[in-house]
A and B are shown apart, each in its own frame.
Chain A
């Protein structure tokens, strides 16, 4: 899966997250409704921690391991990541 490099938008992150989560759950990305809580799809709490690890590695961004608990849908998480990435770029 291509990792977006720069110019992240809510859309690009939404696509990336839906693809990644679909892989975790053995579903098609189109099946992941960005406004349905990930737990509804069976993404358990420990796997949600692992998702945050993947995000850290692929985007080189430090986030709370529990970010996917606090922002429990694809949309919510994408918005959160855009804000974090902007803060990081601005702060660096």
Chain B
């Protein structure tokens, strides 16, 4: 069933589109205003205070208060149910303001609840949706309890049981571990075994409210200490025969794996892009350092290697935001295709963001090792960021979602599919509602790579930058051809999670090509529209494609010097004018 108020199918434009964009921009600005300048030490949400909370292993109380006042829980609830959720890319943009300051707060206050809620928006009935909407808009939290230490990513073997009981209810038996907010959530989404048979029809999703449970039959397990996101309340739950009513069942009995895989397509598309804000802060911190620090009678910023590293990090941030944009908008526009896009995003974005942080740490030098002071936030973000890769399907598990689909994509889609609609690549254009019922488990289609292939004949070649882009696109299309050949030739034993390591490398190359395709699409639309002078300039695209081509082991020709100059100028401008290092150039409080 469809949730949301917008008509499905047609993409709207005109005044209603402006409505969505206006609401998104206003909400982002509202968060920025309330959260304030994080470099101002008098701000109760300054980096210094956030660091102190982290050292104490607590979530910032002032931060939670601010998010309560902002009613952030409503951002996870569809508009039709009284919340603010209408677009996934907008949610990413909003959450980015929190992730800029503190990953633990983003995860611990919000994202956990969103991950839980998506199961109910996707497969729940009306009373469940309304109950959950009430909890979240009222400032409550919901845990998502999939994970069991014994089984990790192999969740189809999970043992936690909801035993069908007389009268249509269930009795809960077993434990869930490393669950965010387990001890303080008002409700938990519990991935539970409802049949002892092996396979993918033996689990169900339950929405269980804490209120009214028999208090003697369940308990919260001890908290875990983690290296990063130290303020998060990671614990577990143990139940011993706790009765719950039949109305707790979300979707049909035995359809839990399907519900989960559908919900994952939404959450895996959305989560990684939130952390673009985290690496943005890291870049900003290093720019400040590089401009201020004098060595060899010049600033660090004047050292070519340092300057290049900073521009490279900005390029990576754009790449990550673009893949995130395409994946989140694809959920609305190409729901049948999102299974691979979501996995590729969850695989590649955290990886590129983490690598960018490590490169930036070289420029920050010894300061990156210091826990407090002006640059202390850098090491915290560096510690916190890997949770994006680890939690909610590890990198290898995401590659394992792509691998079984490669041979089919090679035979049926690449070089023959239709390019994606233009709206996929337009960050500020309105979208139809989230079509939860049209998400499919495996697609065999890929309109993103088709966009890259179609670009070959359409790219202009007037300027040196445009010619550089054209040459790079040709190389990338050649790479797609090679990925296609290798995928076609995959033996059946290389089409499961047991595939050889070379096949995981193939999934990596494909994810990189998806990012390149999305970047090409974004530039084509921005150049046509012309509203954003930076995005309309081919210089950034040349830089993005060049970096991706090198990542693929290619040795593309050197870029015209104007490209580096343009990026450097933009890195400085956005630092001085305090705007974000992503597609939106959002005004920031600090």
Chain A interface residues toward B at CB < 8 A: 20, 23-26, 37-40, 42-50, 52-54, 57, 65-66, 69-70, 72
Whether B200 pairs with A48 at a CB distance below 8 angstroms is yes
A38 to B197, CA, bound (A): 11
Contact between A65 and B408 (Cβ–Cβ < 8 Å)?
Answer: no
Residues of A within 8 A of B408 (CB): 50, 53, 57
Tell me the bound Cα distance from A66 to B442 in angstroms: 9
Knowing A25-B493, A69-B199, A69-B201, the reply to whether A50 touches B442 (Cβ < 8 A) is yes
Q: Which residues of A contact B201 (CB under 8 A)?
A: 69-70, 72
A residues near B492, Cβ cutoff 8 Å: 20, 23-24, 54
**CB-based nearest B residue for A64:** B441
Number of interface residues of B (CB under 8 A): 28
B-side contacts of A49, CB under 8 Å: 404, 441-442
The answer to whether A46 and B198 touch across the interface, beta carbons within 8 angstroms, is: no
- Contact partner, A24, options B154, B405, B441, B496, Cβ 8 Å: B496
Chain B: minimal CB distance from A15 (Å): 15
Whether B441 pairs with A44 at a CB distance below 8 angstroms is no
Given contacts A65-B440, A66-B441, A47 and B495 within 8 Å (CB-CB): yes
Measured CB to CB, the nearest residue on chain B to A42 is B498
Which chain B positions have C-beta within 8 A of A48? 200
Select one of A20, A37, A53, A57 contacting B442, CB under 8 A.
A53
B401 at the A/B interface (Cβ < 8 Å)? yes
* Cβ B442 vs Cβ A69 within 8 A: no
Q: Is B411 an interface residue (CB 8 A)?
A: yes
Residues of A within 8 A of B200 (CB): 39, 45, 48, 66, 69, 72
Contacts A23-B491, A37-B197, A44-B400 aside, 4 further interface pairs with beta carbons under 8 A come to: A45-B156, A46-B404, A47-B496, A50-B408
Closest CB pairs A-B (n = 4): A50-B404, A23-B492, A47-B496, A39-B198
Q: What would be 24 A-B contacts, judged by CB atoms less than 8 Å apart?
A: A37-B198, A39-B198, A44-B496, A44-B497, A45-B199, A45-B200, A46-B400, A46-B404, A46-B496, A47-B404, A47-B495, A49-B441, A50-B404, A50-B442, A52-B442, A53-B405, A53-B408, A53-B442, A54-B492, A57-B411, A66-B200, A66-B258, A66-B441, A72-B200
B388 to chain A, nearest CB (A): 21
Q: Is B444 located at the chain interface by the 8 A CB criterion?
A: yes
Question: Interface centre among A20, A44, A65, by most B CB within 10 Å?
Answer: A44
Collect the chain B residues with CB atoms within 8 Å of residue A45's CB: 156, 199-200, 257, 261
Complex interface: chain B residues within 8 A of A69 (CB): 199-201, 257-258
| B199 engages A50 (CB within 8 Å) | no
- Whether A26 and B198, one on each chain, are in contact in the complex, defined by CB atoms closer than 8 angstroms, is no
A74 to chain B, nearest CB (A): 13
Tell me the complex Cα distance, A39–B134, Å: 39
**Contact assessment for B493 and A23 in the assembled complex, using a CB-CB cutoff below 8 Å:** yes
Nearest B residue to A47 by beta-carbon distance? Answer: B496
Q: Which chain A residue has the least Cβ–Cβ distance from B156?
A: A45
> B355-404: which residues lie under 8 A (CB-CB) from chain A?
400-401, 404
B437 vs chain A, min Cβ distance (A): 15
**Selected contact of B498 from candidates A26, A66, A70, CB within 8 Å:** A26
User: Contacts of A39 on B, CB cut-off 8 Å?
Assistant: 156, 198-200
B385 to chain A, nearest CB (A): 27
Docked-complex contact A43 and B441, CB < 8 angstroms: no
Given A20-B492, A69-B257, A46 and B401 contact (CB-CB distance below 8 Å):
yes
Residues from chain A with Cβ under 8 Å of B405 in the complex: 50, 53
The CA-CA distance from A53 to B495 in the complex, in Å, is: 11
**Residues of chain B with a CB closer than 8 A to A38's CB:** 199
- B491 adjacent to A44 (CB under 8 Å): no
Taking A50-B442, A53-B442 as contacts, is the C-beta distance between A44 and B199 under 8 angstroms? no
Q: Is the CB of A72 within 8 A of B199?
A: yes
**Which residues in A have their C-beta under 8 angstroms from that of B497?**
44, 46-47
Distance between A48 CB and nearest chain B CB, rounded to angstroms: 7
Q: Are B258 and A43 in contact (CB under 8 A)?
A: no
| Most A-side CB within 10 Å, residue of B199, B400, B440 | B199
Query: Within the assembled complex, what's the spacing in Å between the Cα atoms of A13 and B236?
Result: 46
How far does the alpha carbon of A46 sit from the alpha carbon of B261 in the complex, in Å? 10
Interface 0/1 of B110-153, CB less than 8 Å to A = 00000000000000000000000000000000000000000000
List the A residue with the shortest CB-CB distance to B401: A46
Q: Is the CB of B156 within 8 A of A65?
A: no
**In the complex, which residue of chain A has the Cβ closest to the Cβ of B202?**
A39
CB-CB under 8 A from A46, the residues of chain B are: 400-401, 404, 442, 496-497
